[in-house]
Structure 1
Amino acid sequence: MTALSVPPRPSRLWPTIFAVLAGIIIISATVGLQIPWADVPKIPENVAKYFGLMFAPPSWEKLPRALMEMWRSISMAWLGAILCVVISIPLGILAARGVGPVWLRTVLRGGFALIRAIPEVIIALILLTVTGLTPFTGMLALGIAGIGTQAKWVYETIESAEEGASEAVRAAGGTTPEVTRWALWPAVAPALMSFALYRFEINIRTSAVLGMVGAGGIGSMLANYTQFREWDTVGMLLIVVVVVTMIIDAISGAVRRRIMEGDRSGELARVV
């Protein structure tokens, strides 16, 4: 009889090395932060204290102004999303494999990566020196900062689309622009419109942060009242931000689902 050969035991060397390196990085990061460990147990008590100052009860005296500033933040986010989408869709299409030449794809993707590496706040601080402390600065910062991510979504969506329609148009003698117009665009348009709405949702949240550095909107009001420690007004502002953001998310989510799934009322009627 032939003796059964036992497979060699898999080596644990590389997983062990990676685990040790990950542990060293975590420990180094923790030490570098210089966390005051003695104050950590007091965090829940302090959170409860300031929550009480903000929400027991909040002050509704400045609610009309808060709603006006929130509308400015929404306008800033919406215009920034439009600017981002208008620029990123054509550039993202050119950066897709099979559409733009190699040299152009390389340049565009490098530019998108560079934009993604710069946070919105940094872009806003740079623009502040040119456009001043206005919501226009926030709109530009949101529009420019979103181009990197939005364009990446565009060319990845195009590259993942089914190639049947593209091959049919090419077989009929279609050029690259014609393939893009009649094959790629109809296939990816619903997804790109959904991404555009998602960009608007992201901008709503980011606009509040940009307001804290002077870009206007509800964030500027929130920063001012936090600085003067008027916690009851800060609580009211936080309620406005959370409620309005949740409402917009719900509406935008419903619209995005309708775009991706289409009108299903006919199917429901046939089932009934």
Structure 2
Amino acid sequence: MSLQLPSKPRKTYETIISVVIALVILASFVSLRITWSDLPQVPAQVWHYLKLMFENPDWSRLPRALMEMWRSISMAWIGMIGTVILSIPLGMLAARGVGPAWLRALLRGLFAVIRAFPEAVVAIILLTVTGLTPFTGALALAICGIGQQSKWAYETIESLPPGPAEAVRAAGGTTAETVRWALWPQAAPALISFALYRFEINIRTSAVLGMVGAGGIGDMLSNYTNYRQWDVVGMTLIVIIVATMIVDAISGAIRRRIMRGATVRATVAEPGSDAEREDRRRDVLIAAEGTGGR
């Protein structure tokens, strides 16, 4: 009796996907019109400009750079507050089990549309209305942040344990009461952490918005770059790097404290429930032993 070997699995689908990906990559290189002969010169050019910027930075304009950096931080902070005020309630309404299906679909579609627009594009559109002011950058950051922050909000709500919400509904609670007493206490640490993370993102993005005329440190960086004053550009970049690292460190420490605090509270509550279950288990064993003894 001859053994029949299994047929070799076909990889037609994987082959087609690989060919399509390869064609897309090839088309990307062709459309960019890269001059490959210039690539060996890039490292030397980069090193040349790094020396111009950081070999002898011009610290005489440091006070102005610090003031512009503060404007960028203020822009980022105001944008984050606007994002949080709008995104948390909208994100909760978009969560499954909170808002009706038609409203969830409408809000999630709106969030997807907002995420499709970069902050710089929104700032350019707003410039025609609000003018060349830092408020334009703050407004652009607030609007663009809604798309991502709301997505984080409804995904956080949907990932929560269903027990507390079901208990509130079983007791006759309304949707608003369920959100207030069941969903919000569980989701608040994560949502606050996401808000601080959004602030870190806004710090970096505010420098880019300044280059399109929204003010702040990016505006100063763009102006001195256009005039080829590389020593001032280097000093400005140092200010941006140091300020961003300081803000990231402070924000990261606060976020870790918030999340660790939530974990500690949950851990503290856990031994009590375990102890109660252990007591009940011991009582059952003692009762069973007493019954067996009789």
TM range (shorter): over 0.9
Instruction: Summarize the alignment of residues 125-136 of structure 1 with structure 2, pairs less than 5 Å apart.
Output: 125-136=124-135
Structure 2 distance, partners of 1:196, 1:166, is 24
- Percent identity between matched residues is 65
Aligned residue-pair number: 266
Structure 2 distance, partners of 1:16, 1:26, is 15
Residue equivalent to 1:144 = 143
Deviation of residue 264 (structure 1)? 8.7
RMSD after superposition: 1.6
Instruction: Summarize the alignment of residues 5-154 of structure 1 with structure 2, pairs less than 5 Å apart.
Output: 5-154=4-153
**After alignment, is 207-216 or 30-39 more displaced?**
30-39
Residue equivalent to 1:235 = 234
Structure 2 distance, partners of 1:213, 1:80, is 17
Structure 2 distance, partners of 1:264, 1:83, is 28
Any stretches of 5+ residues in structure 2 without a counterpart?
Answer: 268-294
Deviation of residue 258 (structure 1)? 0.4
Structure 2 distance, partners of 1:98, 1:235, is 52
Q: Which has the larger radius of gyration?
A: 2
Structure 1 distance, partners of 2:146, 2:174, is 27
Structure 1 distance, partners of 2:155, 2:198, is 16
Residue equivalent to 2:271 = none
Deviation of residue 178 (structure 1)? 1.1
Report the TM-score, using the length of structure 2 for normalisation: 0.88
Cα deviations by residue, 1:112-152 (Å, 9 ceiling, x for unpaired): 11100011001000000011000000000000010000000
Inter-CA distance 114–186: structure 2 relative to 1 (3 Å threshold): same
1:119 maps to amino acid: P
Deviation of residue 57 (structure 1)? 1.3
Cα deviations by residue, 1:33-76 (Å, 9 ceiling, x for unpaired): 11111111110000000001001111111000000000000000
Structure 2 distance, partners of 1:5, 1:78, is 70
Native 8 Å contact 2:189 2:262 kept in 1: no
Deviation of residue 168 (structure 1)? 1.1
Q: Which runs of 4+ in 1 moved over 4 A?
A: 2-5, 263-267
Report the TM-score, using the length of structure 1 for normalisation: 0.95
- Secondary structure of 1:24's counterpart equals helix
Cα deviations by residue, 1:75-122 (Å, 9 ceiling, x for unpaired): 000000000010000000001011001111111111111100011001
Structure 2 distance, partners of 1:26, 1:72, is 41
